[in-house]
Chain A
Amino acid sequence: MILKVENLHKIYKNGMHALKGINFEVKKGEFLVVIGLSGSGKSTLLRCINRLIEPTAGSVEFLGKDITHVTGDELRKVKAQIGMVFQHFNLIHRHSVLKNVISGKLGQLKTLNSIFGKFSDEIYEEAFRSLEIVGIKEKAKERADSLSGGQQQRVAIARSLMQSPKLLLADEPVASLDPATSNSVMQFFEKVNKEFGTTVICNLHFLSLVRRYATRVIALKSGEIIYEGNPTDIDEKWFKTIYGDEAEEVEIR
């Protein structure tokens, strides 16, 4: 068991009850996909797992340890073991691709060394290896904002690989990419999952991608889990329940 979420609640300051008692477990090596409408609580859930957002109640157990209330150095150590990839890539535009990738290592570096940009040769090697995994080693010296969307997301994946993550969270990683690029970016998540055995939890919108990549699916609707199971079992009826009666499935290739 790598992750165990129990009775997780999140109520925002404005009174929005975003998560209403979420329970689920994730085994090592799984590719878990979370689906649901915008505003159903998917992003909040991911951010509660790595404590970018503080949950209101409930607990998150990571590698058998309750991390819901850890603080300071301990919390940073937990964060350093959980990689995260975002919808809008969130790279530092003005930095080079290489420096962006190295910034994934910050949790394990001394403050002064990181500020003066003193990185050991091993770190540089590791950064190049990460870039090689996502297939854009040749772009290392370029500015991050000169890359295309798909390439930027691959840099973001390389950045999270620097953490040698036990768990990789991906918050709608392909929602701002075109269908063809989406698929190729998803293939890198699959590669990380299969080759390194990294557990992946990913928010997705397109069911065709869900069926192709997920080993298990959780569906959220207004902050509650309404479906948990095999991606191939999501039929027309479930689809309507999750996305509402008016929704129709569109195929992307």
Chain B
Amino acid sequence: MINNAELNESPIDIIKQNKRIEEKVNFIKAIFLDIFFVFYSILVVQRAIYYKFILNLRDIPFSWGSILLVFVISVVISVSWTFTRTTISCKLFGVAKDNKATKWTVEIFGWFLFNITFIAGWIITKLSLVDLFSAEGIQGAERLFGALFTPEFGIFDDALFAMIETIYIALLATLISIPITLFISFFTARNLMKGNKITFAIYYILRLILNFVRSIEPLIWAIIFSVWVGIGPFAGMIALLVHTIASNAKLYSEAIEGIEQGPVEAITATGANKVQVVWYAVVPQIVLPFLSFTIYRWDINVRMATIIGLVGGVGIGTMLMQYQGLARWHEVGLIVLMIALVVWIMDYISAKIREAIY
């Protein structure tokens, strides 16, 4: 078991050598991080603060040549800087000298990084207190709020129907997702699949696909499916369904990964077969988290179904979009009020159910 070559060296030497190697690796990491910090600082100061704010240019000059120049400059600066072993990255990777120079550099450069980032963010978002508090702007807002708070009940019947449509779309997407997600989640649980190479490959590929599907917003899925199956409630439902499966499969399989192994061992020891072990030792441990995730997801889906309606054909979201386009703010007021009310009720109910089953 033990390598003879290793036995000839004393353990202390091995530890020392490992430490030296680790320090070298960390120093190289520190150089790369310093290059990033310096490159970032120069770019932010030059582009966001100097060009955009001080020169107030509308179009910022861009060429790969200039970027490359900045990069070369920052590499030269940061490499020579890192070798003094007083930089922020040296400190982060634990290879810095422990002296006053390090302390000051870390503090000053840290603040500098934070501040230029904040200022750049301010400039990019065009944060303007003048716009926020201009008399004209406030007047517009007052008019809008006034309309929103005096809703037009003439469209109540239509809005109610659209609202019900939205809730049912969310409900159906959630219900259909349950068996599919359950089935998938067992194949994406690491502890069940890590056994051999084939199952682990299935696990890995499935996880990859789910991550990809999940990273695409339901709104985008709705656009895709409204081309695929035509604009309407079905496209919205299927968009929600796809996203629900991808998100919940991750949560479900994490619940499976988190079960206690003790009961599994105990049931296996009675001579039970695989199906019996899953049913008696795994399922009781995951039923509650599954229910809880699913109910919470229905709640999320009602909100998402509203948003999906914005791209067309489905329920209350579409209605909101139409009246907003016509600038009929009293009607918009009613719709917003109803959405808020339903979301609040759903939130409350789902919280109560989740509390009750635990």
The interface of chain A, by Cβ under 8 A from chain B, is 15, 17, 50, 52, 76-84, 86, 88-95, 103-109, 111, 114-115, 156, 159-160, 162-163
Q: Which of B37-45, B83-91, B259-267 is near enough to bind chain A?
A: B259-267
Within 8 A of A (CB), among B255-283: 260, 262-263, 265-273, 275-276, 279-281
- Which 10 pairs show the lowest CB-CB distances between chains A and B? A107-B271, A80-B271, A90-B262, A79-B271, A106-B272, A90-B266, A84-B269, A76-B271, A94-B284, A106-B276
Query: A residues within 8 A CB of B288?
Result: 94
6 new A-B pairs (CB below 8 Å) besides A84-B269, A94-B285, A159-B266? Answer: A50-B269, A79-B269, A105-B270, A106-B267, A106-B280, A108-B271
**Size of interface on B: residues with Cβ below 8 Å to A:** 22
A92 touching B272 in the complex, CB below 8 Å, given contacts A86-B266, A103-B267: no
User: Which residues of the other chain, A, contact B267 by a CB distance below 8 angstroms?
Assistant: 103, 106
A178 to B125, CA, bound (A): 64
Tell me how far the C-beta of B207 lies from the nearest C-beta in chain A, rounded to whole angstroms: 23
The CA-CA distance from A12 to B272 in the complex, in Å, is 25
Chain B, residue nearest A16 (CB)? B1
Interface of B, helix, strand, loop or mixed by DSSP: helix
Given A17-B1, A52-B265, A92 and B284 contact (CB-CB distance below 8 Å): yes
Q: A52-B268, A103-B267, A104-B270 are in contact. Are A86 and B275 (CB under 8 A)?
A: no
A103–B265 CB distance below 8 A: no
Tell which of B262, B275, B284, B285 touches A115, judged by Cβ atoms closer than 8 Å.
B275
Contact of A76 with B272 in the complex, beta carbons under 8 Å: yes
What is the CB-to-nearest-CB distance from A21 to chain B, in angstroms, rounded to a whole number?
15
29 pairs from A and B in contact (CB 8 Å cutoff)? A15-B1, A52-B265, A52-B268, A76-B271, A79-B271, A81-B271, A82-B269, A84-B269, A86-B266, A90-B260, A90-B263, A91-B263, A91-B266, A92-B280, A94-B285, A94-B288, A103-B267, A103-B270, A103-B272, A105-B270, A106-B271, A106-B280, A107-B272, A114-B276, A114-B279, A114-B280, A115-B276, A159-B270, A162-B270
Measuring CB to CB, which residues of chain B are less than 8 angstroms from any residue of chain A? 1, 260, 262-263, 265-273, 275-276, 279-281, 284-285, 287-288
Can you name the residue of chain A whose Cβ is closest to the Cβ of B274?
Answer: A111
Contacts of B287 in A (CB 8 A): 94
Query: Which single member of A78, A92, A108 contacts B263 (CB below 8 Å)?
Result: A92
Task: Please give the distance in Å from B269's CB to the nearest CB on chain A.
Answer: 4
Chain A: which residue is nearest B280 at the CB level? A103
A60 to chain B minimum Cβ distance, whole angstroms, is 15
Q: Are A111 and B276 in contact (CB under 8 A)?
A: yes
Q: Are A86 and B270 within 8 A (Cβ)?
A: no
Write the chain B residue with the least CB distance to A91. B263
> In the bound complex, what is the Cα–Cα distance between A77 and B273 (angstroms)?
10
Q: Which residue of B lies closest to A114 (CB)?
A: B276
Whether the Cβ atoms of A163 and B279 lie closer than 8 Å is no
Q: Which residues of A contact B275 (CB under 8 A)?
A: 111, 115
Q: Known contacts A84-B266, A90-B266; decide if A95 and B272 are in contact (CB<8 Å).
A: no
Query: When the two chains form the complex, which single residue of A17, A88, A89, A107 contacts B270, counting CB atoms closer than 8 Å?
Result: A107
Partner of A92, one of B269, B273, B276, B281: B281
Q: How far is the CB of A24 from chain B (nearest CB, A)?
A: 21
Question: Closest Cβ of chain A: how far from B262's Cβ, in Å?
Answer: 4
Residue of A nearest to B278 (CB): A115
Q: How far is the CA of A113 from the CA of B61 in the complex (A)?
A: 75
**Cα–Cα distance between A24 and B80 once the two chains are bound (Å):** 69
Per the bound structure, the CA–CA distance linking A107 and B272 in Å amounts to: 4
Nearest B residue (CB) for A169: B269
State the CA gap A39–B269 with chains docked (Å): 22
Cβ of A244 to closest chain B Cβ, rounded Å: 22
Chain A residues within 8 Å of B263, by CB = 90-92
Residue in A closest to B271 when the chains form the complex, CB atoms: A107
* B84–chain A nearest beta-carbon distance, Å: 42
Q: Which residue of A lies closest to B266 (CB)?
A: A90
- Contact A88 B272, beta carbon cutoff 8 Å: no
Q: Give A139 to B13 CA distance when docked, in angstroms.
A: 62
Q: For B284, give its contact among A95, A104, A156 (CB under 8 Å).
A: A95
Q: Please name the residue on chain A nearest to B2 by beta carbon.
A: A15
Query: What residues of chain B lie closer than 8 Å to A91, measured between beta carbons?
Result: 263, 266
Given the known inter-chain contacts A92-B280, A92-B281, A163-B271, please indicate yes or no for A86 contacting B1, CB distance below 8 A.
no
Question: Which of B269, B276, B284 has the most chain A CB atoms inside 10 A of its CB?
Answer: B269
CB-CB under 8 A from B285, the residues of chain A are: 92, 94
- How far apart are the CA atoms of A84 and B272 in the complex, in Å? 13
Cβ of A84: which chain B residues have Cβ within 8 Å of it? Answer: 266, 269
* Contact (Cβ within 8 A) B273 A76: yes
Indicate which residue in B1, B265, B270, B284 contacts A106 across the interface (CB closer than 8 Å).
B270
Tell whether, in the assembled complex, residue B262 and residue A88 are in contact, meaning their CB atoms are under 8 Å apart.
yes
- Cα A108 to Cα B276 in complex, Å, equals 11
- What residues on B are CB-neighbors of A162 within 8 Å? 270
